[in-house]
Amino acid sequence: MDKIRLLSKKDRESYLLLYSILGFVPDDISLYRLAMTHSSSASGARKLGCNERLEFLGDAVLSSVTADFLYSNFRKEREGFLTNTRSKIVSRESLNRLAEQIGLLKLIKFNARQSAHNSYMGGNAFEALVGAIYLDRGYDYCKYFMEERIIGQ
């Protein structure tokens, strides 16, 4: 928490909001900044400086963590139930609602003019956040985050 005191007021507020969402202090804050940078705020060669690659990674990790949770907690259910339930949990609509509920939308950096057509920005940012957690802390923290901070809530 000493790191937080050294930040500017605006950065400190963002960092504290991120901490309240995650439930832990990130080791590599740059991953989380990248996760919250929508492609509309980057252009040309800077497109690699947006959250799309983390979104790709986070999508796969989120699916895996969700499957792991369902498999462990619904031992008597068949494959069809598990697949349908996972699909509902990781659907774009569910992730968008989730991003709004946990306050993630307040952290996303975007160009309003260019991103107006993107109704999935929150869900995409949530996937990128999971990708950042995975790179920063590994699979077990992703699992903790999902089970304790998301599913448990």
Q: Is 131 left (phi over 0), alpha (psi -120 to 50) or beta?
A: alpha
DSSP conformational letter for 38? -
Distances (CA, A) of 138 to 3, 29, 104, 120, 130: 21, 15, 21, 25, 10
DSSP conformational letter for 152? T
In this structure, what token pair is assigned to residue 3?
């790191």
Assess contact for 81 and 108: CB atoms under 8 A. Answer: no
| Catalytic annotation, pick one of 28, 59, 140, 147 | 59
| Catalytic annotation, pick one of 13, 28, 79, 127 | 127
Clarify whether 59 is annotated catalytic: yes
- Residues designated catalytic: 59, 127
